[in-house]
Structure 1
Amino acid sequence: MIIKKFQGATEMEAVLQAKEELGKDAVVLNVKTIKQKGLFKLFKPTSVEVTVALEETKVENKKIEEQGIKAAELKGSFNSIVDEKINISELNTKEKVEKKDLEHTSEIEKKLSNLQNLLEKQIDSKPSMEQEVVNNPESEKSETAVFAQLIYKTLLDMEVDEKYINQFIREIELIKNKDLTIDHILGNIYQRMILKLGQAKIISETKKKPKVVFFIGPTGVGKTTTIAKIASKFHVDGNKKVVMLTADTYRIAAAEQLRTYANILGVPFQVIYSSQELEECVEQYRTYDFILVDTAGHSHKNQEQTNDISEFIHCLDSKAEKEVYLVVSAATKYKDLIKIVDTYNEITDYNIIFTKLDETTSLGNILNIKMYSQKDLSYITSGQNVPDDIEVFDAQSLVKQLLGGQ
């Protein structure tokens, strides 16, 4: 894994530099503003620094050699890894690593809730497990083995699928350097989980107006409320022209709920009954920024309704810019989530919104479905308040919680 920092006058400029050097698969791990120092700092503009990562499998060996990326030492808190430039793969060698400036360690520790200390306390509370490993003559690294078991149990308690847990645990077993600390091991898993989750894919404007955004998914997952939250963010906070449509003619209450939200926001609302009416709406509101379309929630077993939604979505294939977001509840059982994403895979490509995070303490399904479906994650919601209880998905925050942090 390659992790590297880039600076620019703006975040976009820094990200473009990263993409140009590392390619489009580079993932942004951290963004921070760099303030100038010295006597003339008031006359110097601030800059933005982004930390990006890329799995080695996506980088040619020649490029790796040309870039001359060196490993960096991980010290202090586990969470300082986020701001360090490192090549995780080189941790397996015995090459001495450079000392890095840990000026921002305390700040990072606060942000990431001192996760290492939490895990070390859990290790200390399991003497029987540790003794069992120590008594095993075949065990070369008892502390590493105990730590691997702790990571396994922590992720399992969060209902991460065992298949995916084993993938991350194998990363520990592949580390042959006996001098590696818990910081190094935890950092390895932390970075790889973030890369697997990827960056959030959010709704954005296009030059060709309007962008039509479909929201699909089963009943009872909070699809209508989620649309209202997004519409409010765009219209009130972003001053964008928004239209709200519903194709959910099965539930009168859902249509009336969306109509109420539209009236409060002061944006157009319309019920559509056919793909032809949808095409007419796109033409009618061609100067608007976004057309948000609520679709009928239905069981993934109902083929007729699945076909209806497919017709709505694909009638605009050559007539408008469009995106599709599958809305699912984080409280849904993993087996059911698999059936849901498989069903909608037959309809179209999509990004995923997870709702009702406030109704579950086990967030492993988010990681499970991401790794199973390989779809981009977008937004998460955690309540009924419009527009407050929605935010862009944050991989760092989720991984921290999955590993036992706050």
Structure 2
Amino acid sequence: MSEKLTVKNVVNINKSTLSAKDNWSTLKYLDTGNITENQIDTLQIFQKGEKLPSRAKRKVEKGTIIYSTVRPNQKHFGYFDTHSNDLVVSTGFATLDVIDPRINSKYLYYLLTQNSVISQLQSIGENSTSSYPSIRPEDIGNLSFVFPDIDIQNKIADILTFIDKKIQINNQINQELEAMAKTLYDYWFVQFDFPDQNAKPYKSSGGKMVYNPELKREIPEGWGVDSLWNIANFYNGLAMQKYRPDTNEDDYLPVIKIREMMNGFSKDTERARLDIPSEAVVDRGDILFSWSATLEVIIWGKEKGALNQHIFKVTSDTYPKSFIYFELKSYLKVFKAIAELRKTTMGHITQDHLKQAKIVVPPIELISKLDAKLQPIMLKQQILENQNQELTQLRDWLLPMLMNGQVKVE
């Protein structure tokens, strides 16, 4: 039998906090910006004696739901399947631990991560008195839901967890494929141990190296030097508010801003007309480089979109995509350092920085030979990313249908 229950009556909110009495030698810390839709990208690690961030306080355990109280529509939430004694999360999260045996904690997590609930909390946040949309833990606690029998909750949670785990596995495979491709690329074009004419590693086997005054280091004989600006075409996106479709227009392109570039499309993604300049259309497989605020380089793996300003679409008439992609990725640390120094004007880089970014350019025949090895790896990544997009759409379609009983679990 279904029951309507209020969240605060079935959970402990912010149950446990790190104190001076806690004995730890190494502590992992999760900040609000480092998890999106239960995918953690970074954990900060601190050793005993190091100063912790002031917000590193909330303890979590198996079954804890964490939910960022800032900008709910950015989906910084997650669920802990296992317990970890050496992990704390930011006080920017509300933590929820289920205390009612009638409630499956994973089912509650999926209830709270429905788009309709996120929109409701975002609306509350936008009416708050702070300078940015923020909610209180009580705002989550005051939500009420109809809960079916625990057996049905268990089955629904299992179905949705299965989809999420497949997405997670695909992400892990893609990370390993990326590392594999990067290792191969570095071996050839950073360590200079590409196969020589005798199929031996060039530099390690005594291949001739010459000093390059521009780079102030040795490079293989016969190789060139150029700038990133010269080897590729950098097309900056457009201010897409000028290309809004009519309100009743069904044909449109979703706009790729930095948020979409990193996290994919959502129901909050803006729309653009189809008649935008062709250069601003992004297809699956295009290289995107966000040059302002968040500096990242990716190969776009989702559906066609419209490129917003502050992101370059990077192409080349001469060099294969793999060469451009890995050279940009290799230079990213330098660009981030430059942007950090310009934070008074929102950290970014300029065309001049791309012109000053000097790189080693191997002979095109060698670049093409490595590209033939990298292409199958990168294609596999695209296939998995496309599969993840389809799985995400399936999950987001199923979620409300299962929760409101339109789709039943036998």
TM > 0.5 between the two?
A: no
Tell which has more relative contact order, 1 or 2 (C-alpha 8 A, sep 6+): 1
TM-score by length of 2: 0.27
The structure richer in helix per residue is 1
Q: Which has the higher strand share?
A: 2
After TM superposition, the score normalised by the length of structure 1 is 0.27
